[in-house]
Chain A
Amino acid sequence: MVAIAGGALAVLTVGAASTAARTTLAQAQSGPISIGVVAPFTGPAAEFGTLISAPCYAATLLINKAGGVMGHTFNCVPVDDTGDAADAVPNVERAIATVPNFDMAIGLESNTAATTVPLVNRARIPLITTNGLVAYDKTKDKYFWRLTPADNANGAAFMAFAAERGLKRVAIIFENNITATGNLPGVLAAVPKLHQTIALNLTIPADAASYSSVVERVIAAKPQALIFSADPQSTATFLSEYSQLNSGKLPVMITATDSLTPDFFNAVTKAVGVGYITHKVFLVGSYFANNTPAFYSYSKAMYADPHTKKIASVITTVGPPASAFDGINIAALAMLESHSTLGPVYNSWITKVVAASPGAQVVHTFAAGKAALAAGRKIQFVGVVGAVTFNKYHNFAGEFAATVFRPNKSAVRVAIISGSEVSQLLG
């Protein structure tokens, strides 16, 4: 009993010391503010780390150009979560304990969120996540912020787009993982309301050597469209076998904008050709207008930064990076408004930065917001994803869009799906 109590005391002491150390570090606040990009930088999902770092580099470029926050510049610090929830824990804990001025986090993707979000939240670091897990629709994590739709909303948007294209009979094929299957409740909720038919609903394992049997079942079900979500390799194998077994004919595929990556483009193109991916694969995800002042600033920064310019053409069409970009700007402006770079202080100012209020000046960039605040005005930040209204769970979904690849791997938007329609389908 004494031993247990002693152990517990030791744990509490270490925990308290760790928090104290963080607070002391934060209060000292010399040097740049670190934005932890919590994402996989090694392993099979390493490409995601590169993609989600891009908005961080773009945002910090603009923030630093505008003079930073209270004399601090901003740095993007990769925190490798490896894509594995268990392996992520020591890496994130180490970053929390050792990265100087770790006052903001982005990323925290679906595969690792179960372990990384609690750690970062407990360390009182405001986090802007790009994960779509339904579990966070009603989170009570105080430092959690999300400007991207939950996966179930995405699923409903898939079906709304299918209906718009007159596709009534669909086969649902989702890979056996939390992100892909997270779309399913939304799809199932939307289908009866849109008078559609599910020809087949299957979950497939990742990276199988062959999906021929599954493909044969799908072909026999005669779907007009595949509602699909899987990793690039599995998708390529599936489509290649579909083409072989169906005399080269492939149905329309509707999938998530998570797949709007060079890796997905390469894999599918190598398996079934560029004609299919540019004409019959539609990627549905959160929408933002590409003719706003905020977008121009975002896009310009993406093309200007040497880290991001190679992938700028694709990434500026995708919702999650744009939401991370906006999230960083919102958090930086909240620091200015609260006169503090400490997470526990500026966190409660985040909703105020985006809220419409009488006399508030609408600003689209960090620089404009900083100037307005310096002039003593109230501000409402309207960024790339548009005007944001966080609900009481710190969630904001917005609108949806369907995108297709171009042959040069860039992407173009082909349809917009309203957020209210998606909400109705889910309701």
Chain B
Amino acid sequence: MSLLIDAIGFGIASGAVLALGAVGFTVQFGISSILNITYGSLMTLAAYFGLLLVGAGLSIWLALAVGALMVGLISVVFHRVLLGPMVKRGIRPFGLIVVTVACGIVLQYIVVAVVGPTAQSYGNVSGATLRFLGMTFTTAQLVIIAITASLMLALHLLLTRTKLGRAMRATSANRTLAQSCGIATDRISDVAWLISGSLCGAAGVALAITVATFDFTLGSVFLVPMIAAAVLGGVGQPYGAMLGGLVVGISTQVAGALWNPAYQDVIALVILIAMLLLRPRGFFGAAWSSRRLLA
């Protein structure tokens, strides 16, 4: 029993990182309808930005914030310069996916060319180990959980309580209609890519903190469970992605604790397939679709 409770705790910790990434991914898709596979390599880039900043003397948490913002800005440029014009030229969704896959690989090769293939680390930043409700967390994990919760709350407030959030939702629901209502949809897209890119960056640095050492494959390895979390929640639905992150994180750790850990990643994918069969629109299904924040 204690192993199960511990596994749930470990799942919450890894689910928090997954949720950060999955929410960013789903916001990006919700606002632009682009399945951006470059996302994984951008997470890797953020981890290396974090390394650079820690090396320059910043604290790990400040490095997370700055690294996240840097990747957010790169995401805006990436969308403005490459993906946005491609959408305007009528390139189909499948073509865009291939472009983002290619960009991800190119970015990965650039990273390895610059920093090399060897393992990197932020050093021992995990802090003390604490027991809480029968679960075990490191200080760093608790901070990451707190950051995730704060960012999710901030995103919720942005989307529901601000004019900008309403404009984002309108753009997501019907871009042409939003434009004809006077919403500067291009600028709204920029903001959405900045936010989602920043979440991607934060997830990259948080993941690098969690795994102790990392290399240029960091984000690409994490991409599949993160997409699984986003799809579980219903692509385009930030709340669903939050819940999806937790479900994937917890199910993976519980499978590792109670079953054969070799298949722990498979469990999340089996849940994903089952969910798509039973509730194709994600956790909140059709009832939520009329109320959902994006898409």
Contact = CB atoms under 8 A, between A and B. Distances in A.
Contacts of A244: 126, 129, 138
Contacts of A12: none
A213 B256 contact: yes
A210 B253 contact: yes
Interface string A204-225: 1101111111101100100000
A212 B213 contact: no
Interface stretch (B31-39, B65-73, B76-84, B257-265): B257-265
Interface string A246-281: 010000000000000011001100110000000000
Interface in A228-250: 232-233, 236-237, 239-241, 244-245, 247
Interface string A82-121: 0000000000000000000000000000000000000000
A216 B126 contact: no
Contacts of B254: 213
Between A209, A263, A270, the greatest number of chain B beta carbons within 10 A of the residue's beta carbon is seen for A209
A266 B119 contact: yes
A203 B253 contact: no
A213 B7 contact: yes
A236 B217 contact: no
B261 A203 contact: yes
Contact of B119 (A46, A203, A211, A233): A233
B217 A213 contact: no
A216 B3 contact: yes
Interface in A374-401: none
A47 B118 CA distance: 8
A270 B213 contact: yes
B117 A205 contact: no
Interface string B121-142: 1010010010000001010000
B185 interface: no
Interface string A179-217: 000000000000000000000001111011111111011
Given A207-B221, A217-B257, A237 B117 contact: no
Interface residues of A, number: 35
A263 B213 CA distance: 11
B3 A240 contact: no
A205 B256 CA distance: 10
B118 A205 contact: no
A271 B256 contact: no
A216 B213 contact: no
Interface stretch (B10-18, B89-97, B155-163): B10-18
A166 interface: no
Nearest to A205: B265
Contact of B118 (A203, A213, A241, A266): A266
Contacts of B129: 244-245, 247
Between B136, B225, B262, the greatest number of chain A beta carbons within 10 A of the residue's beta carbon is seen for B262
Given A209-B17, A213-B10, A270 B119 contact: yes
B213 A209 contact: no
A71 interface: no
Nearest to A248: B129
Contacts of B119: 232-233, 236, 263, 266-267, 270
Nearest to B8: A213
Interface string B102-131: 000000000000000111110100100100
Nearest to A207: B221
A205 B261 contact: yes
A176 interface: yes
Nearest to B14: A210
Nearest to A273: B124
Interface stretch (B53-61, B191-199, B204-212, B273-281): B204-212
Nearest to A220: B3
A220 B3 CA distance: 9
A358 interface: no
B262 A270 contact: no
B284 interface: no
A42 to B, nearest CB: 8
A270 B256 CA distance: 25
Contacts of A209: 14, 17-18, 207, 210-211, 222, 225
A359 interface: no
Contacts of A204: 261-262
A216 B6 CA distance: 8
Between B18, B207, B211, B212, the greatest number of chain A beta carbons within 10 A of the residue's beta carbon is seen for B212
Contact of A44 (B13, B14, B17, B215): B215
A271 B3 CA distance: 24
Nearest to A270: B121
B213 A267 contact: yes
A263 B117 CA distance: 9
Given A211-B256, A213-B253, A270-B123, A203 B262 contact: yes
Interface in A46-63: 46-47
Which 3 residue pairs spanning A and B have beta carbons closest together? Answer: A270-B121, A240-B212, A213-B256
30 contacts: A44-B117, A44-B217, A46-B117, A207-B217, A208-B264, A209-B210, A210-B210, A211-B261, A212-B14, A212-B253, A213-B256, A213-B261, A214-B257, A216-B257, A232-B119, A232-B213, A233-B211, A233-B215, A240-B126, A240-B212, A241-B212, A245-B136, A247-B129, A262-B118, A263-B119, A266-B213, A267-B121, A270-B120, A270-B121, A271-B121
Interface of A: 44, 46-47, 176, 202-205, 207-214, 216-217, 220, 232-233, 236-237, 239-241, 244-245, 247, 262-263, 266-267, 270-271
